[in-house]
Structure 1
């Protein structure tokens, strides 16, 4: 009996066919699974449970109760390249229904084989994320812009499964990934899939690649070199697509000599990160930093490593809005969405701020919004990046960038959203709950209105949010009144 699937990773089709086969009590050894072009070979074969007219009748018993872990296993195993994977999964489904003790057998050969296949798929997905290298080419569809193109040869059918990860990771740039079976493109808003390509379609090395090789060579630690472990984690099959692979043999040959030189060197004193001093007048700080525009400020903060946050963030997130805006809003730091998109206040807190501005009749594009800290500080919990408040030293290290921004924007007044922003703007601790809604004055004469950060409202119990939002809007009315 033939079971047809529309493609190599047709999980939905597999589930439907498996239900029909199981309902008609078709044993696994009597089923031949066909995918893609194979399924088109026999156009006149009848599907399971079909009558001569072609209509399928599925009995009510087509539903099988299996552990949720088996469904998750199926989602991964269908991505494997083994043509017998669907036969294995149907055999396991059949046995789970007819052999209830199978779910408690940790050493069953079929289950072990499926788990090994799933592990191989996950490893292949990890390798694609780790060993894929983009190169820049001119974007024919958007003249004057850059398209980042990469070539990769996955072992399994993982391209569509791993595509959302690349879309989240590289949201702000246009890119394409070529593989022998499928091509993938991100146009800035949606994922587009196409037919496979050839290695010859991949672009040649670009200028950025040489910078990467220089960086790789400089951070190579000969004392930690373990060639066998490296080859296990980075098999040679990936080396043709890795620019740094050309350096490995030479660096490995020099490892022993360089290790000896490292041992003979005197101990070095660790460098302390000391916040840069900030002048009372923001214009003075601006001249010290040599910044002449918001674009130059963005470039400088992208390179900034005066505190550890910048090493782990995706990018710096500077303020946005019009120059000489009457009001400049300053929050704490960018969040997860801001870090990925590169724009301030675009996440849930930003949406709440937009609502509050609309309530006091202040358009978002009429103000300037920014943060005291320009990089996203977080801690990983599983796959999620959870916001973590910056320390006073980290905020102090970023203060001169904030003052540069104030000097460039030249607002009439500032609005401090939360304690971190208030401390950075006033140069002293500020009790937000006691001083919210009040105008304070900086040494340079700029007035500062202190209020809560919108994210504080989001963390409140649902029954308290409406009153808290009304109080937040009332604070913003004070700023609106100052502008007339």
Structure 2
């Protein structure tokens, strides 16, 4: 049995060199006992020198990154786990990338815990001023990390506080930075560090960033665990800040300015526009709609096409968008699809002049082909932008039943066009809970090439309208 003792410092380099030597000698993982410094070890095991000649070993970069963290974990098996993984990599190069592999999962978990502990140390070390007998100031701090990470974390402080001399004491090791040189010594008893003016600065800073209106004690303790509080001067403020949070939040709300911010002007203007449109006459409503530039469709269309029908209409039909004829005449459902719709309404016993007919999108979307303008279906953004006007129409009329004619109307009213044919002839609800009946758009029938199928679908559409009328009567 081989025994390898990794020193208190230079941990990664020492483990790497020993692991490389034993891997060269083909020493299996179960034949090595690992320990660090004065960690508990087998009383009868003596250190055995590694083989003298070590070959160059190639491993994935991800393994090196893991190893540089895992060696600083407190798990007594950390070195053995790393060597077992190194041994496995010689025959299975891919296991490390498989997070489902228990070996890979364990190493990644250990590395994550060390990384989190290093982050906490960087954030929560609090130096005390020891005074200075030279040009460089002298500071010291006591910190109790969860893992022996001082060697890993100290370079951060050397870089950040390079203009002063300092010492960081931990139960495992002590770091000293003097005249630009970083050294490590054995652990020392916790020093009695004096308070200084910097503690008041920490308290002032913490009090200023503490937001009582967003207090979440559990989340705060997850980020700043209680184990660190005893070494942080500002932590003494926490109990009182938590106890008075509700009172302070109420005082902040009462002292808040009542003047709306500049960004609210657009919202206020839009609300005013909506209120005016609701109470405006039909002509003024049409004029406001025709001036709409909320989406790009207004640029090429002849005009916006509003809904049509009495203000007390109990039935409210919603189609897709104006077609070529509707765009030119400024009225909904007057083209070929509108003519089929009128026939179906009459056959179903519904008077068109007693119903309100409109579209989900108010401008004609098309692609020019010579002298013709070919219909294009509106996209989600165009439907969403125009829903504002459709909602205003619904609010002005407050009908008893809304009928969605086709997928675009269904998407505008419910948020989804999925499974139109499965939802056909069913009762649903709009986004705001109004009763909604689902059927097809009459243009679907016009596109059918088979005359027999076309006649069958027209008859079925008429029956859909009769069903909607029965729902209305019920």
TM-score of the aligned structures, taking structure 1 as reference length: 0.49
Contact 1:138 1:145 in 2 (8 A): no
1:230 is matched with: 220
Query: What is the alpha-carbon distance in structure 2 between the residues aligned to residue 116 and residue 105 of structure 1?
Result: 13
Query: What is the alpha-carbon distance in structure 2 between the residues aligned to residue 144 and residue 137 of structure 1?
Result: 13
Contact 1:3 1:48 in 2 (8 A): no
Query: What is the alpha-carbon distance in structure 1 between the residues aligned to residue 239 and residue 71 of structure 2?
Result: 37
Contact 2:63 2:96 in 1 (8 A): no
> 1:73 pairs with 30, 50, 66, which one?
66
Instruction: Work out whether 1:105 is the aligned partner of 2:90.
Output: no
* SS at structure 2 position matched to 1:244: helix
Q: CA deviation at 1:29?
A: 2.0
Query: What is the alpha-carbon distance in structure 1 between the residues aligned to residue 217 and residue 150 of structure 2?
Result: 29
After superposition, the Cα gap between the structure-2 partners of 1:228 and 1:46, relative to the gap in structure 1 and judged at 3 Å, is: closer
After superposition, the Cα gap between the structure-2 partners of 1:2 and 1:269, relative to the gap in structure 1 and judged at 3 Å, is: farther
TM-score of the aligned structures, taking structure 2 as reference length: 0.50
Instruction: Work out whether 1:92 is the aligned partner of 2:85.
Output: yes
After superposition, the Cα gap between the structure-2 partners of 1:6 and 1:256, relative to the gap in structure 1 and judged at 3 Å, is: same
2:354 is matched with: none
Query: What is the alpha-carbon distance in structure 2 between the residues aligned to residue 37 and residue 217 of structure 1?
Result: 43
After superposition, the Cα gap between the structure-2 partners of 1:84 and 1:169, relative to the gap in structure 1 and judged at 3 Å, is: same
1:193 is matched with: 184
Query: What is the alpha-carbon distance in structure 2 between the residues aligned to residue 48 and residue 211 of structure 1?
Result: 53
Contact 2:5 2:47 in 1 (8 A): no
User: Where does 1:140-219 land on structure 2 (aligned, <5 Å)?
Assistant: 142=133, 146-199=137-190, 201-219=191-209
After superposition, the Cα gap between the structure-2 partners of 1:5 and 1:155, relative to the gap in structure 1 and judged at 3 Å, is: same
After superposition, the Cα gap between the structure-2 partners of 1:256 and 1:32, relative to the gap in structure 1 and judged at 3 Å, is: same
* SS at structure 2 position matched to 1:116: helix
User: Where does 1:120-139 land on structure 2 (aligned, <5 Å)?
Assistant: 120-139=113-132
After superposition, the Cα gap between the structure-2 partners of 1:88 and 1:218, relative to the gap in structure 1 and judged at 3 Å, is: same
Query: What is the alpha-carbon distance in structure 1 between the residues aligned to residue 33 and residue 42 of structure 2?
Result: 13
* SS at structure 2 position matched to 1:73: helix
Contact 1:183 1:195 in 2 (8 A): yes
Q: CA deviation at 1:212?
A: 2.7
2:233 is matched with: 243
Query: What is the alpha-carbon distance in structure 2 between the residues aligned to residue 211 and residue 64 of structure 1?
Result: 51
Q: Please tell me whether Structure 1 or Structure 2 has the larger radius of gyration of its CA atoms.
A: 2
Contact 2:4 2:32 in 1 (8 A): no
Matched residue pairs, number?
A: 259
Contact 1:64 1:97 in 2 (8 A): no
After superposition, the Cα gap between the structure-2 partners of 1:104 and 1:26, relative to the gap in structure 1 and judged at 3 Å, is: same
Contact 1:5 1:36 in 2 (8 A): yes
2:289 is matched with: none
1:30 is matched with: 31
Question: Which one scores higher on RCO, CA 8 angstroms, separation ≥ 6?
Answer: 1
Contact 1:178 1:202 in 2 (8 A): no
Q: CA deviation at 1:145?
A: 6.4
Q: CA deviation at 1:269?
A: 8.3
Q: CA deviation at 1:168?
A: 1.3
* SS at structure 2 position matched to 1:83: coil
Query: What is the alpha-carbon distance in structure 2 between the residues aligned to residue 129 and residue 45 of structure 1?
Result: 35
Q: CA deviation at 1:146?
A: 4.0
Query: What is the alpha-carbon distance in structure 2 between the residues aligned to residue 145 and residue 210 of structure 1?
Result: 22
2:3 is matched with: 3
Contact 1:2 1:34 in 2 (8 A): no
Structure 2 gap segments, 5+ residues each: 261-474
After superposition, the Cα gap between the structure-2 partners of 1:176 and 1:103, relative to the gap in structure 1 and judged at 3 Å, is: closer
